[in-house]
Chains A and B, each alone.
Chain A
Amino acid sequence: MKNPIIKIFALFCLGLLIIGCDKSPPIEDHMLDGDIVFDPSINNPEEFLASAKYPNPTSEDLDRHVMIAVHGFTASTFEWSEFNEWSADSTYRLSLVLLGGHGTSYDDFKASTWSDWAESIKLEYETLESMGYKKISLVGSSTGATLLVELVRSGYFDARTSPQNIFLIDPIVVASSKLQSIAGILGPMLVYVGSDNSVEKDEYYYHFKPQETVSELNDLMKTVRKGLEDGLTLPADTYMKVFHSKHDPTANSLSSVMIHAGLKNSAGSDIDVQIMDSDIHVFTRLAIRDSVSALNIENQEDAFRQMANRLN
């Protein structure tokens, strides 16, 4: 580099790169990403997990349906709190699991893999099974739903009690965001992706997504897509229904088309799918949204009622 102008330009570019690679997002005290706010299920699991709330179930307890509710990427147990409240007088029980790497801090999230995320689902499933529960169902929203399909793909249920029902709410197998698929290429330049979460939402959802976890999500989607392309079969006698918002801005609605094309029940027939007249992602969570329409409430009630009917 004999030319000084080239030298200066090279130094300028290097400087920009260093400034651009600041790896610490501006985390504030009110955010779940920091070290002050945590998901409440960490300190009070008995309020969220059926296995912790009823450590010594009676034979009558064991005859009840229990459903494990799984939240999505960056979310926390809050995502299923409305269904928990809606189900207060029901005979079935709910376990609101917190995905691995979630609900604690940005650093924990950044260090986690999609395999880590699924560990808490497996732990609760195996705990309930070992306690003697026979009627275990699962519901997942967004990435939570994708993790449930991955459990089917990996054969996790093959040597276990088959789930009674699996419900998927706005599963993400292909993203609506066109930048999501190239996050791996942008890599270190991306560092993290911010969000436009409200202050209220920051208490329950990570504000910042490290590029490592965005890549993990891409890897999970790719693995599930490949499984669906090759063809998957549900465990014996497991019922599945997929609900998807027609114009989901996060998990593209073709995700459910892919699941319908690639996943059959044990008898070889199609799974049930319902397209909801909705343009919000995870239409079952209406709390802390800017605005909620009558149609949003109707959709939520419809899905809650259909799931409850299968658990009673």
Chain B
Amino acid sequence: MESNFSLTLYNFETEKKFMFMKSSVYKWSLFFLILFGAAGIKAQDFKIGIKFQKTHSLYWENGVSAQYSFVKIRPGQLYVGLDILSSRLGSALGTNALKQNTYLGSLSYYFRKNKAFKIITKVNAGFFKVDLGNELFNELPDTALLLSPELGLVYDFKHKPLSLNLGAGLNVNTKTEGESPGTLQPLFYNLTMFYKFNNI
């Protein structure tokens, strides 16, 4: 499945454009485009925060998370989001743990909209890459497409623009077992601390 994805990039993009896509300029442009309004659509809520994620019995991967709710589409209930997580900010910090990155887009739905405690259901989709660190391992699987349902709880502080998210999810296996990077394991749980902007 993953090899098809790579093939598509090579078939339809020039090498120059492919390099541009990989550049940090592109990544950050995309990031801010999504965060600050997606081509001018006004936000009901915009939340940005830090996320701590643990894969069950394996690595901590930490990073940033953002969520965005549109004024005209289920405001305060339906959110699109973006997460960038890395073991470089977790288990691999100062150790020999493998360095790996996770890039996720998400769609969340919040139940109990007007309560302090909310329940959220979420679907994540994205891309996983582990750095194998040596050309000896060039032939080994180091990437995977990600798809994961997630269930969580949110607590919104009453008089502060802060919220806490607790979630647990399951990575759906998109490859046969011998073809998937071993550090991509099914069960994960996370804690996100958000700072919330209203009506931006």
Residues of A participating in the B interface, judged by any CB pair closer than 8 Å: 174-179, 181-182, 184-185, 218, 222, 225, 228-231, 245-249, 252-255, 257-258, 260-262, 270, 273, 275, 279
Contacts and interface: CB of A to CB of B under 8 A. Distances in A.
Nearest to A232: B96
| SS class, residues of chain B in contact with chain A | loop
B182 A252 contact: yes
B147 to A, nearest CB: 13
Nearest to B171: A178
B130 interface: yes
Given A181-B57, A229-B95, A257-B132, A275 B178 contact: no
Contacts of B98: 254, 257-258, 261
B152 to A, nearest CB: 18
A181 B186 contact: yes
A90 B157 CA distance: 74
Contact of A181 (B136, B139, B179, B185): B185
Contacts of A260: 133-134, 136-137
Given A231-B96, A261-B133, A275 B139 contact: yes
B97 interface: yes
B27 interface: no
A254 B140 CA distance: 8
A80 B141 CA distance: 29
Contact of A182 (B130, B180, B187): B187
A182 B134 CA distance: 30
Contacts of B183: 174, 254
A253 B140 contact: yes
Closest 7 CB pairs of A and B: A252-B182, A174-B182, A254-B182, A247-B178, A249-B178, A262-B96, A176-B177
A248 B132 contact: no
Contact of A176 (B91, B95, B139, B180): B180
B33 interface: no
B178 A248 contact: yes
Nearest to A221: B57
Interface in B109-160: 130, 132-134, 136-137, 139-141
14 contacts: A174-B58, A174-B185, A176-B178, A178-B171, A181-B58, A181-B186, A182-B187, A253-B182, A257-B132, A260-B134, A273-B137, A275-B139, A275-B140, A279-B178
A1 B34 CA distance: 50
**Which one of A184, A257, A260, A279 has the greatest number of beta carbons of chain B within 10 Å?**
A257
B49 to A, nearest CB: 27
A158 to B, nearest CB: 21
Contact of B96 (A174, A228, A249, A279): A228
